[in-house]
Amino acid sequence: MAQGSNFVDYVKVCCRSGHGGAGSAHLHRDKFTAKGGPDGGDGGRGGHVILKGSSQHWTLLHLKYRKHIIAENGGPGLSALRTGANGKDEFLEVPLGTVAKDAETGEILFDITEDGEIKILTPGGKGGLGNWHFKSATQQTPRFAQSGMPGQEQWIILELKVLADVGLVGFPNAGKSTLLSVVSAAKPEIADYPFTTLVPNLGIVGYRDSRSFVMADIPGIIEGASQGKGLGHRFLRHIERNAVLLFMIPADTDRSIAEEYEILLNELTAYNSELVDKPRLLAITKSDMLDDELEAEMAATLPKAIPSIFISSVSGKNIQQLKDMIWKAIND
* CA 211 – CA 331 distance, rounded (Å): 12
Average pLDDT value for residue range 220-242: 61
The answer to whether 313 is annotated as binding is yes
Least confident of 24-33, 83-92, 185-194: 185-194
The answer to whether 83 is annotated as binding is no
Q: What pLDDT does residue 225 have?
A: 41
Say yes or no to pLDDT of 193 above 50: no
Which CATH code, of 3.40.50.170, 3.50.50.100, 3.40.50.300, 3.40.50.720, is assigned to 164-331? 3.40.50.300
Q: Quick one: what percent of the chain has pLDDT higher than 90? A: 67
Say yes or no to pLDDT of 167 above 90: yes
Say yes or no to pLDDT of 194 above 70: no
The answer to whether 175 is annotated as binding is yes
The answer to whether 254 is annotated as binding is no
The answer to whether 310 is annotated as binding is no
DSSP SS3 for 111: strand
The answer to whether 176 is annotated as binding is yes
Say yes or no to pLDDT of 94 above 50: yes
Beta strands per DSSP E along the chain: 10-16, 49-54, 68-70, 90-95, 98-102, 108-112, 118-122, 153-160, 164-169, 201-206, 212-217, 242-250, 280-285, 308-310
The answer to whether 170 is annotated as binding is yes
pTM for this structure?
A: 0.75
Q: Quick one: what percent of the chain has pLDDT higher than 70? A: 89
Q: What pLDDT does residue 190 have?
A: 46
The answer to whether 141 is annotated as binding is no
Rounded to the nearest integer, the mean pLDDT of the chain is 88
The answer to whether 24 is annotated as binding is no
The answer to whether 244 is annotated as binding is no
The answer to whether 177 is annotated as binding is yes
Bigger pLDDT: 316 vs 9: 316
DSSP SS3 for 285: strand
The answer to whether 292 is annotated as binding is no
Q: What pLDDT does residue 4 have?
A: 47
CATH for 4-160?
A: 2.70.210.12
Q: Compute the half-sphere exposure of residue 125: CA atoms within 13 Å on the CB side of its CA.
A: 26
Q: What pLDDT does residue 6 have?
A: 67
Handedness of CA 273, 275, 276, 277 (dihedral sign): positive
The answer to whether 312 is annotated as binding is yes
Q: Which helix (H) or strand (E) holds 180?
A: helix 176-183
The answer to whether 332 is annotated as binding is no
The answer to whether 188 is annotated as binding is no
Bigger pLDDT: 177 vs 194: 177
Identity of the residue numbered 84: G
* CA 77 – CA 21 distance, rounded (Å): 7
The answer to whether 102 is annotated as binding is no
Q: 82: which DSSP letter? A: P
Domain boundaries, the chain: 4-160, 164-331
Average pLDDT value for residue range 34-55: 94
Say yes or no to pLDDT of 224 above 70: no
User: Residue 56 class from Cβ within 10 Å (0-12 exposed, 13-18 middle, 19+ buried)?
Assistant: exposed
Q: What pLDDT does residue 187 have?
A: 66
The answer to whether 242 is annotated as binding is no
Q: What pLDDT does residue 219 have?
A: 74
The answer to whether 200 is annotated as binding is no
Angle, alpha carbons 171-173-175 (nearest 5°) = 100
* CA 95 – CA 160 distance, rounded (Å): 7
